[in-house]
Amino acid sequence: MSSSRRPLNRTRRLWAAGALSGALVLSVAACSSDGGSDADTPRAGAATPDDATPSADASDRANEPGTAGDASAAQGGPKVAYDAAIEAAQKEVPDAKVTEAEYDDGDWEVDLITDEPRVHNVTVDAGSGKVVRTHEDRMPDAARDRLKYPLAKLDAATVALDDAAGKALKEAGGGYVSKISIQGTEQRPKWDVEITDGRVQHEFDVDAKSGEVVARETDRED
């Protein structure tokens, strides 16, 4: 797996947010009319007020013994694991579906999509489990219809995000979930799961209907 697939650093994320309108339009335009795109779900961009209420449950879970966060931190990962970060994000945007969660530079960036449809990005502190920022997309209404494709992939998936993550962790034999996202097509949705284990990074494609690993790559830092 090439290093280009690794999580974006903070500088690149800020640059990407500044190019919100164009990036969203270009991203959704890549979707085919039958939902057969493998492109990532577009990220949300324009910021709303940053006084979002933290998720107390996720923060408390980060300090509980025997949680996924403990296992993650023990292997050099975040204190707050992906599942707790997702829980906090979903409390922030009720009734939204998660399309991606990525650990980057001390934070979890969780992308969610609502039935409107609208994309939301929630930043969760990976040390405390608190929501520190929420963004909501401002893409043109003319392009918003394209968001039906990632929604269709999520609706077609019968394997839950947590189950896909668990399968990837078992296959990797160690490490922690550093990124997970819905990919594939409406007919063949898949969960793309990245597992980081020290200097080794695994990437698994988990069939979102059967739960089987259909592809994997491993990369080791020198």
Task: Kindly tell me if the per-residue pLDDT of 49 is higher than 70.
Answer: no
Q: What is the tens place of the pLDDT at every residue in 101-135?
A: 999 999 999 999 999 899 999 999 999 999 999 99
Q: What residue has token string 């969780």?
A: 110
Q: What angle do CA 178, 109, 173 make, to 5 degrees?
A: 10
Higher pLDDT, 21 or 189: 189
Q: How sure is the predictor about 221, in pLDDT bands with cuts at 50, 70 and 90? A: confident
> pLDDT tens for residues 137-146?
999 988 999 9
| Domain parsing of the chain, residue ranges | 3-220
CA torsion, ordered 162, 165, 169, 172, to nearest 10 deg:
160
Q: What phi, psi does 102 have (nearest 5°)? A: -140, 130
For the record, the structure tokens of 168 come out as 């990837």
Structure tokens at 73: 């931190």
Share of the chain above pLDDT 90, in %: 61
Q: Is the pLDDT of residue 186 over 90?
A: yes
Give the separation between CA 84 and CA 64, rounded to whole angstroms: 11
| Higher pLDDT, residue 141 or 13 | 141
